[in-house]
Structure formats: structure tokens, C-alpha cells
Homo-oligomer: A and B are copies of this chain.
Amino acid sequence: MSKAVRNPERHAERMAIKQKIMQERISKAQKEQGVLLVLTGSGKGKSSSGFGMVARALGHEMKVGIVQFIKGAFSTGEHAFFRDLPNIDYHVMGQGYTWDTQNREQDVVAANAAWDIVAGMLQDDSYDLILLDELNIALKYDYLDLDRVLDDLQARPEMQHVVVTGRYAPQELIDIADTVTEMKVVKHAFKDQGIKAQKGIEL
């Protein structure tokens, strides 16, 4: 063991205190409601975290909607894996990364068509969880009307969870969200160390 265990009794004691704190916190947290979760920042893991929540929800036999903004040109592993599963409704915006299109008008049309699909899901309480992958990028480039997006999110069914991913989450979205995580790069193999984007990890 790298550090000696100084005092096993003190350890059990500390764990008991921690257990008590956790129990109190859980007993105070009694509100059952749909959560709006935002995963932002420049670190790796935002989209994959959203897809992990999709898997978790499917494991609970929940119905899931996915709309992927921006990443359409790529055939990603998550699309291959999830698209044909039961209880899942998977849409891809289909325009590729923005810096590959260079056609703003086309991006705006595609983003708004994708949002029309989202708006339908946000009015349908049979969807338990909706993943809006890379929505923040579409908002960052003003491909969508932010007010429309915020209004539709806030008018959704009370028990519906929504997960929004992508860098540059606008402050207005953070303000109405319940849980927000910022993913920070500590180091990155792709940028720092000349390692290619790897299947299963990046793609």
C-alpha cells in the first residue's frame, strides 16, 4: 500500500460520518422532477457522458430521444450502437462539423429542421430522456433562436429529463439548468501528444 493506514477505527468513524451526511442530504433531496443537465467546457467526455446517460436510461426501460447537432457527417460508434435499439428515437442533423460546411444558410436550415424534431419531443411526455448532442455549438453560431430553444425547454413535461452537450453553453441556458458540469482539459492526447483520434475513444 502506498500510504500506511494510520488508524482503521478512525477510518470506520469517518466513513460513518460520511454515511450520515449522505443520508441527510438524500433525505432532504426529495423533489422528483425532470432535470435539465448541461455538459459544457473544452475537456473530453461531454457527448460520451450524454450517451452514457442514454444507456443508463435504457437500462431502466425509459424511452429516449436523441438529436445530434453538428456531427452529422461522421458515422460515429454511438450512432452504429444505439440507432436500432428499441425505445430509442435517434436523429442526426446531417451537416457535418460546421468548419466543413462553410455554408451558413444551409446550416441554419438544417439546425432549425432538427429543432422542429426536438420541439415535438419536448411536447410529448412519452419521452423520458432527451439528449441534445452538441446543441451548444448550434447556439454559439446562432443557427437557432436562443429564446425559442429556452422557451421550448422550459415548457416541457415536468418529469422529462434533457441533457444538452457542447462547448460554449450560453449563460441563459446555464441559468435555467438544474445541473451544469464544465469539463476542463488537464491534458489531451490528440492535441498535446500527436496521438490520432482513436475509435471508441474519440469517434
Contacts and interface: CB of A to CB of B under 8 A. Distances in A.
Nearest to A103: B12
Contacts of A19: 99-100, 102
B179 A187 contact: yes
A190 B29 contact: yes
Contacts of A18: 98-99
Nearest to A185: B181
A161 B196 CA distance: 13
B200 A56 contact: yes
Interface string A39-54: 1110111111111111
Interface of A: 1-3, 5, 8, 11-12, 15-16, 18-19, 22, 25-26, 28-35, 37-41, 43-60, 62, 76-82, 97-105, 128-129, 142, 145-147, 161, 163, 174, 177-191, 193-201, 203
B52 A203 contact: no
A34 to B, nearest CB: 8
Nearest to A8: B104
A51 B193 CA distance: 25
Contact of A1 (B40, B46, B142, B200): B142
B102 A15 contact: yes
21 contacts: A2-B145, A5-B104, A5-B142, A18-B98, A18-B99, A19-B100, A25-B191, A26-B197, A32-B198, A33-B195, A44-B179, A47-B52, A51-B56, A52-B78, A53-B200, A55-B82, A56-B201, A60-B80, A62-B200, A161-B200, A180-B185
